[in-house]
Structure 1
Amino acid sequence: MKIDRVVWIVLDSVGIGAMPDAASYGDDPASDTLGNIARLRPLHLPHLCELGLGNIKPLAGLPAAEKPLASYGRCTLASPGKDTTTGHWEMVGIHLAKPFPLFPNGFPADFMQRFEAEIGRGTLGNKAASGTEIMAELGDEHVRTGKPIVYTSADSVFQIAAHEDVISLFELYRICEIARRMLSGPLEVGRVIARPFQGPKGAYTRTTNRKDYAVPPPPMLLDVLDHANVPVHSVGKIFDVFLGRGIRSYDKTKSNADGMAKTLAALDEVDRGLIFTNLVDFDSLYGHRNDVEGYAAALEAVDQWLPSLLAALQPSDLLILTADHGCDPTTPSTDHSREYVPLLAYAPASPAGKNLGTRGSLSDIGKTVAAIFSVPMATGESFLEVL
């Protein structure tokens, strides 16, 4: 089977059941993003089921296909953690020895004093909070004082929110760059995130001008592909997660719908190599807000889009659908959940799905891509021969 192009789509946070160590990460051991949504709200996902989604494990109302079109399985997150950076890094071959640091009680006072001196402003917040909640709580004071809102979450993030009419995007990004430079050593969080918002008092809403500042990754798959002259095109936040490393062209996105449209457009423009997409709305709009209906509708929107995607694939393509962690909207927590992630691999030239089982790590996906393009990757076990 000759493969010239891989379309790799991360359905951000669409986990498929708690891992055995989930409780040690503070998770509800019953966390199961996809399974619990299907149990509470009937899902209409016929195209995903045709690929083999229901073959991975029993899911309420989502039947197993008698002859699944895709090979199917689930991936274990081998690295410690349950966040975007950990999951995406593992996919491309980086296994963390220890998790990125968390700050559930806010960042140290001495650091915040130095940070405020560097940016020439005081700050508000400095606590773990939901982005929408802290915007409602401190937005008015921010507008009145001009002080940016600093907050974190159960993930390893330093987030800075500011009204675009109070602190310009250029200035907000500059402040984030200062934070990224200062957050090193034991304070080296996975990401610094600019969280701009707009709107009048009582009706603040986030804009689409979010920007992530990730920790520079060590050498990984995208670097090796670039060195081997294999083009990589990214869609969505992939570019930010990897700081653009190894990525020759990219599209930023405003929504899942925008990401799906730009992935289809990329298929018309990129005739070989890797198209690497992240669809983030599952996580950012629905999982963190415990919005079961929104999450379910977003899953159905992807399913409705799948026929267009499959029709655009060439015989020498491979489509991989997976996720990076969970974010179960049905549990009391609004944080990520440490879950297995689904794995569907569809090759138009060989539409006869096989059971890929439970993979030892997300690196198995990257190792498979590496095998396709004959480049080295130290971690993971390829499933290309099974396909």
Structure 2
Amino acid sequence: MFNRVILIVLDSVGVGAMPDAADYGDENSNTILHVYEGNENFHLDNLEKMGLTYIQGLDEIKDYEIITNGIYGRLMEMSKGKDTTTGHWEIAGLVSESSFPTYPEGFPDEVMDEFVRESGRGYLGNKPASGTAIIEELGREHMETGKLIVYTSADSVFQIAAHEDIVPLEELYDICKKARKMLKGKHGVGRVIARPFTGSPGSFERTENRRDYSLPPTGKTMLDLLKENGFDVVAIGKIEDIFAHVGITKALHTTNNADGIEATIDEIKSGSNGLIFTNLVDFDMLYGHRNNVQGYGEALKYFDSRLPEIIAAMKDDDLLMITADHGCDPSTDSTDHSREYVPLLCYTKNIISTDMKTMKGFNTIASTILDNFNIEIDFEDKSILRDLVRS
């Protein structure tokens, strides 16, 4: 049906609390709604034309009638959790029956003692914290002692922050790889994350040299199946890290949303055949976790302004799918991810505009993509394209 699918994940752009959100402390979260409400006269014209504000739960911000030109709806996560790895794995067809371990009291001595032996350095922190806050709190001591700043969050992450002048990037990355190898089994966190920063006390800044080290997927994903069947799987942004470099034929690491959008447009213009899979992380990393409603809105407006370029680069037999992996409502007291529905917006040049309402499972995306390429799947067939796209 389509020669290629362009799948863009707007990291953390949730569209409303799921029924079990209270179990995660997120019952009032709605990332998109609260960004609209927190920014005066806010509109995302191109995403709205694709049906964004017609999605269930966003009705109150639909203040004028528009003619949509896309398939739109929202997806309910079936996996346990609200983290990046779980969300992306389910998008790719892999549902996680149990959540990754979290450490609200910090990591136990058995983990930290091994970390000291493996890293060759001491540590500071070892507690849940905002990344920017803990750097301000412990950055000076880190620079004086060379000890690594270790912290976590409500998500399953082992984060290591270090000043680039104190711990060279390659050393920090090597330490993260060692931590990834030791954090398995009952302590198998979803991600180990390198969090380099620069500057001086009172003016520290995290850099764009972040790296994520995820657990390998616990089963085959659509990436594996596409690759095995001879299709390209182009990973842009942190997709290669999330999938531990498995099932990927080409990886393009990017530093921010603008870089990721440019790489995506360039790849669309190329002769690839299969899947272009992009993650745009700034919404989550720079604005959601920092409770910056205005910055989140500006980042969405920037993506929206570049959307026509993405569409213009598409060929007649391309399909564009836009979604998210979880929420991260910047208007709440929490700085952590939120348990939310995610949007699904689909566009191609020949499409029947359709409201898909609420669909169960982020793996609706994997089912649709694999069905398009006539690849058999071992989970429930949820393809949404049949009878909706004009031949």
- Could you state the TM-score of these two structures normalised by the residue count of structure 2? 0.96
Residue 32 of structure 1 is matched in structure 2 by: 30
Tell me the equivalent position of 2:221. Answer: 220
Query: What is the DSSP-based 3-state SS (H/G/I as helix, E as strand, rest coil) of the residue aligned with 1:333?
Result: coil
Deviation at 1:62, TM superposition (A): 3.9
* Alignment RMSD: 1.3
1:269 counterpart SS class: coil
Relative to structure 1, the CA distance from residue 355 to residue 386 in structure 2 (aligned partners, 3 Å threshold; closer, same or farther) is farther
| Structure 1 residue 320, shift from structure 2 partner | 0.2
1:330 partner letter: S
Q: Do the aligned residues in 2 keep the contact of 1:82 with 1:337 (CA within 8 Å)?
A: yes
* Contact 1:220 1:377 (8 Å CA) reproduced: no
Question: What is the distance in 1 between the residues matched to 2:66 and 2:283?
Answer: 28
Cα distance, 1:151 vs. partner?
A: 0.4
**Aligned residue number for residue 91 of structure 2:** 91
Partner residue in 2 for 1:271: 272
Partner of 1:109: 109
Give the superposition deviation at 1:64.
6.4
Partner SS for 2:269? helix
**In structure 2, what residue type is equivalent to 1:236?**
G
Alignment partners' CA distance in 2, 1:241 and 1:119: 23
Partner of 1:294: 295
| Aligned match of 1:50 | 49
Residue 156 of structure 1 contacts residue 189 of structure 1 at CA under 8 Å; is this kept in 2?
yes
The residue type equivalent to 2:30 in the other structure is D
Distance 1:125 1:274 in 2: 41
Q: What are structure 2's unaligned runs of at least 5 residues? A: none
Q: Which amino acid aligns with 1:205?
A: E
Alignment of 1:273-352 (within 5 A): 273-350=274-351, 352=352
| Cα distance in structure 2, aligned partners of 1:196 and 1:145 | 16
- 1:99 is matched by which residue type in structure 2? S
Match of residue 165 from structure 1: 165
**Contact 1:45–1:303 (CA under 8 A) maintained in structure 2:** yes
Pair 302,189 (structure 1): closer, same or farther in 2 beyond 3 Å: same
Report the Cα distance in structure 2 between the residues aligned to 1:198 and 1:66, rounded to whole angstroms.
46
- CA distance in 1 between counterparts of 2:144 and 2:354 reads 59
Provide the residue aligned with 1:9 in structure 2: 8
8 Å CA contact 2:232–2:272 kept in 1: the answer is no
CA contact (8 A) 1:53 1:64 kept: no
Q: By how many angstroms is 1:281 displaced?
A: 0.4
Q: Separation in 2 of the partners of 1:270 and 1:62? A: 38
Tell me how many residue pairs correspond in the alignment. 384
In the superposition, relative to structure 1, how do residues 225 and 65 fare at CA in structure 2: closer, same or farther (>3 Å)?
A: farther
User: For residues 153-186 of structure 1, what are the alpha-carbon distances to aligned partners after superposition, in whole Å with 9 as ceiling and x for unaligned?
Assistant: 1110000011111111111111111111111111
Q: State the one-letter code of the partner of 2:321.
A: I
What's 2:22 paired with?
A: 23
**What is the CA-CA distance between 1:247 and the residue it aligns to?**
1.2
The C-alpha deviation readout for 1:61-93, integer Å capped at 9, x for no partner, is 444654311001000011010000010000111
Query: Does the CA contact (< 8 Å) of 2:192 and 2:213 recur in 1?
Result: yes
Amino acid of the structure 1 residue aligned with 2:148: P
| Aligned-residue offset at 1:59 | 4.4
In structure 1, what residue type is equivalent to 2:210? R
Structure 1 match to 2:119: 119
Q: Which deviates the most, 160-169 or 195-204?
A: 195-204
- 8 Å Cα contact 2:18-2:339 kept in structure 1: yes
- The aligned amino acid for 2:312 is A
> Which residue matches 1:372?
372
Following TM superposition, by how much is the alpha carbon of 1:366 offset from its aligned partner in structure 2, in angstroms? 0.6
Show CA shifts across 1:265-321 (max 9, x none).
111224321110111100000000000000011111111111111111111110000
Q: Contact 1:49–1:64 at 8 Å: present in 2 too?
A: no
Long gaps (5+) in structure 1: none
**Mapped contact 1:172–1:194 kept (Cα < 8 A):** yes
Counterparts of 1:10 and 1:63, CA distance in 2: 26
Q: Which letter does structure 2 place at the counterpart of 1:13?
A: S
Instruction: Give yes or no for contact 1:55–1:65 (8 Å, CA) kept in 2.
Output: no
Q: Which deviates further from its counterpart, 10-19 or 216-225?
A: 216-225
Q: Is the CA contact (8 Å cut-off) linking 1:190 and 1:215 kept in structure 2? A: yes
Whether the aligned pair in 1 keeps the contact of 2:320 and 2:347 (CA below 8 Å) is: yes
Q: CA deviation at 1:44?
A: 2.0
Q: Partner letter of residue 88 of structure 1?
A: H
- Helix, strand or coil: the match of 1:219? coil
Q: What is the aligned-residue identity percentage?
A: 51
Tell me the amino acid that sits aligned with residue 337 of structure 1: S
Letter in 2 for 1:54: T
Deviation at 1:248, TM superposition (A): 1.1
Q: Normalized against structure 1, the TM-score is what?
A: 0.97
Partner Cα distance (1:174, 1:96) in 2:
28
Residue 341 of structure 1 deviates from its aligned partner by: 0.3
Instruction: Tell me if structure 2 keeps the 8 A contact 1:230–1:272.
Output: yes
Instruction: Give the letter aligned to residue 360 of structure 1.
Output: K
Partner of 2:205: 205
Q: Which one-letter code corresponds to 2:51 in the other structure?
A: G
Cα distance between partner residues in 1 of 2:61 and 2:213: 40
Q: CA deviation at 1:327?
A: 0.4
- Distance in 2 separating the partners of 1:126 and 1:25: 22
- Contact 2:11/2:326 (<8 A) preserved: yes
* Corresponding letter in the other structure for 1:23: A
| More moved, 269-278 vs 288-297 | 269-278
Q: 1:74 maps to what in 2?
A: 74
Which whole-Å CA distance do the structure 1 matches of 2:206 and 2:156 have between them? 20
Q: Secondary structure at the match of 1:290?
A: coil
